[in-house]
Structure 1
Amino acid sequence: MVLTAGTTGEVHAVPTSGSKLNGSHASTAGATDALVPLERFIPVTTLALVDRLTVPDAWPSGDHGEARRFFRYLDFWRRQQHNRRLMTLLRAYEPFDPDSDLLITREYTAAEKLRLQKRTVADVKRILERANYVPIDPKSVEVILTKDSHYGLDLHVDLGVFEECLLFFRGASKKRDTRTNYRKFMRKEEFDVPIYRRLVLLFKLKPFDVRVREVMAEKKVSEKEAAKVVTRMRGSLPAEVKEGNIYIKLFKNIPRNDLEMVFPNTRVRFRLWDKVKLGVTGGGAMGMGLVGTAGKLAAGGLTVANPVALAGAVAGLGGIAFRQGMNFMNQKQRYMVVMAQNLYFHAMADNRGVMIKLSERAAEEDVKEEILLYSVLAKETCKRNDLGLIDAAIESYLRGAFDIKVDFDLPDALERLIADGIVREDADGTLHTMPPAVAAQHLDAKWDRFLDDLPDGVKQEGLEVDAEDFPHV
């Protein structure tokens, strides 16, 4: 048999003959994925999925009401599981939180802080993956260091300053924007801007002495010179950014060509046109000033006998040079303002706020995947070797019901349902799924045992200190 998607909300099995999910379909999907990689993110609300998956026609046995109740139980249960992991993550993050307004009552050894740092980064990465975010390699020159800019800025980032750096996106898309086309007599035209609907950046600076040693090795300079280089490079960082903290930023609708602007040490560089324009105007002004001064000297108007006029000419040249220097500074300042203004409207959350939001999104993605898979397994007798067809059927259902293309993450959803006891697998690979009413009772019982199963006496890193030794926040 082959699995396919129904038109009334159900995802079910049909005989192989006449099925559209055959080998040619799979090869076509593979070719499409190769050209435009699909994301696992399902851009539909949980409520919308539940409403469509629990219509009466989708459950011929009349279990649509029980299925809806089970899906509600599953939603609460999965969010509770994520909340438990979130609490563990937030405790590990406490020593690195730059926004904490709490009294610091614990001291940590260097080894303990390093363990907490690695645990924090690993757990954030795990949540991002569960929320169906896609990683971007920060060292990928093709992605990061782009020359084209939506906002007309030439940006540069030194990635060597970071000890930890994670960059994830979700929802690679496009948005319509307008611009003035100089080739069409200053008319406005619409164009597509490639964007990331969501972008997460986690970073931690390297310790100063570590970065100094790296610069010494890279540039073959003395420790003193390397320290000057590192100090100068860190001058582009906001004063609030400390090397002992871990920072997490969440952005929305970031143009892919301006990805560099989300980093804290972004430097704005002059574009070629700016260099030409400022160079021509500055050079012309200085040239005219020099020509005028030289002409007066040749005519004898500026001599030692007339020091006031000579001083005035020199001051005039100095004024021209100062004005051109200010033009350079003002142009760079305008670029910084453009970057800050645009970034202001892209920012969504920081640090702990990002963790909480990501945990919520991860739970939601888990629930959507699980109810889609359950809607198939609860109605059909399936085996593990049918999973590829089930995956294709669910993707086909999402295309038909919502006109969206996703790379459905079936293996993780199945493992979670098995871990919770909702699905059981025989030795021959046959999958047995609890009916909706039984599955709801099963989760109800697990919820009753949840507090009883919490571990006691878990040792935490750090040592509580006396009140007189409390560091001030």
Structure 2
Amino acid sequence: MTVYQDREAFIPYSRRDIIELCIKDGKLPEYSLQKFRDFCSILLAYYHFKLHKTLEILKKNYAPFNPDANTKYIVDYSDSELATMKTKVVQSFAEILEKGNYYPISKASLERAFQEMSLIELKTDIDFDDFEEMVCYCRGDIYQTYSFKRFFRKIEKKIDIFERVALLIKCKEKKDGHTSDNSLEDPHLIPSKIYISLYKNIPKNDIEFLFPNVKISMTLKDRLMLVVPAIGAAVPIALKILPQLLLIIGVIVFLVFGPSSVEQLKLRANPEDVKNMTGLLLASLSLLVTLGGFCFKQYSQYKTKQIKFQKQVTETLFFKNIANNAGVFQTLVDDAEEEECKEIILVYYHLLTSNTSLTPEQLDDKIEVWMEENFDTKIDFDINGPLNNLTKIQGKILRDGEDEDEVSEIPLLTYDENGCCQVLPLDDAKQLIDYIWDNAFHYA
């Protein structure tokens, strides 16, 4: 089984399309096509029902942490209960993301991304110590071409983006009712709540836009553009002024305090000297004003970058936001349902149509090659997930005249003595899942 570092497990086709791709592959006999469609249909319904339970558990545990809640509670949870529920929310959130073939972004990876320049050249910083919990997952690491203007020219640049980014954060509680230097100051962020967001098409180097505590400052280039010209302008002024520094001091004292003060300090500053120094002072003042104007211009450009940065943050949060808080769960559960069904269908189809027995490793390679050769799609198929799911789908196949109590439950997928995978034929597979449906509830 080949492991690819540059591929994802995400399958970029809908489950309906996967079904059609399998049928168009031409390996299923004509009389089995409708049976295959029926099997896929009942399988999709089964997983929709199964993951609906997961959604309800997520919503239940998230309820006291939901900042958008508009319902009242009849139960006051203790601190220990809230801690347990928070842990379940974070763990369930990560689990449902992994089922949807998202993968985690570590703090170290995020910090490396923060160091890279985005389309707007500003230095950004995020303090992870502000957060009690922080979970960030992504999916779809691709390149897109962006067009923008620079020096009256239209430039196209390939940008590395994440097609989906999911973020969960919980801020730290304030101590003694005061905000510490390292804590968040945004009044909209309540430490007792958990904030969850799902975004689309986020440039990898702009992922800091999604964090509420992002801080921006000048880049080294901006600082040099301020400091270097200032030093360059100050040097000739200093060289011109320093030799006559005592004279300048004398002139200033003469102008401010009068001739008597000059005599007391024994400074040389007669009226003729004052007249000769006027040009020098005016020239120096002119250079200082020019320097100040240049620095002000550079600072104004930095402030313009700040405004552009804030504008881009606003556009990101408005146009690229898919869902927030409890609304994210429905989307992620749907993603998990899609991915798990697609994987199971591909595994079942290839085992059903294979002329030879296949080990999990051989099956994994077969599916990856099939996707690449037929649809020019490179994936790193996650074979373990669908195999585990197929073995967990267990039910009974009742023949005519058999007593249900005397029939044992069997899984949809088994392994032979050589470790090769085997699945039930279509008719038996349909009946097995139908049995699971019929026995989903035992209220009667």
Q: What is aligned with 1:143?
A: 112
One of 239, 244, 254 as aligned partner of 2:202: 254
Q: What is aligned with 1:192?
A: 158
Distance 1:285 1:262 in 2: 41
Classify the secondary structure of the residue corresponding to 1:243: coil
Distance 1:430 1:335 in 2: 56
Q: What is aligned with 1:12?
A: none
Q: What is aligned with 2:69?
A: 100
Q: Which has the higher contact order (CA 8 A, sep 6+)?
A: 1
Shift, 1:96, TM fit = 0.6
Q: What is aligned with 1:395?
A: 368
The question of 1:418 aligning with 2:358 is answered: no
Q: Provide Cα deviations, 1:304-359, integer angstroms capped at 9, x if missing partner.
A: 79xxxxxxx9xxx9xx89x9599476664453333323343222111111111000
One of 92, 96, 110 as aligned partner of 1:123: 92
Q: What is aligned with 2:439?
A: 449
Distance 1:206 1:446 in 2: 45
Q: Provide Cα deviations, 1:61-102, integer angstroms capped at 9, x if missing partner.
A: 621111011101111111111111110111011111111011
Based on CA coordinates, which of the two structures has the bigger radius of gyration?
2
Counting only pairs closer than 5 Å after superposition, residues 72-471 of structure 1 correspond to structure 2 as: 72-140=41-109, 143-180=112-149, 186-209=152-175, 231-235=180-184, 237-278=185-226, 298=251, 303=256, 327=300, 332-380=306-354, 386-421=359-394, 423-425=412-414, 428=417, 429=419, 431-452=421-442
Q: Provide Cα deviations, 1:168-206, integer angstroms capped at 9, x if missing partner.
A: 110000000124456xxx532322100011011111112
Query: Percent of pairs identical after alignment?
Result: 26
Cα gap change, 1:170 to 1:162, in 2 (>3 Å): same
For 1:443, give the aligned amino acid: I
* Unaligned stretches of 5+ residues in structure 2: 241-246, 259-284, 395-410
Cα gap change, 1:286 to 1:242, in 2 (>3 Å): farther
Q: How big is the alpha-carbon RMSD for the aligned residues of Structure 1 and Structure 2?
A: 3.7
Cα gap change, 1:56 to 1:129, in 2 (>3 Å): closer
For the 8 Å contact 1:164–1:203, the answer to whether it is kept is yes
Residue correspondences, number: 388
Cα gap change, 1:99 to 1:141, in 2 (>3 Å): closer
Q: Provide Cα deviations, 1:351-409, integer angstroms capped at 9, x if missing partner.
A: 111111000000000000000011022234765x6221111111111112321111111
Classify the secondary structure of the residue corresponding to 1:54: helix
TM-score, with structure 1 as normaliser: 0.72
Distance 1:304 1:340 in 2: 57
For 2:314, give the aligned amino acid: A
TM-score, with structure 2 as normaliser: 0.76
Q: What is aligned with 1:223?
A: none
Classify the secondary structure of the residue corresponding to 1:438: helix
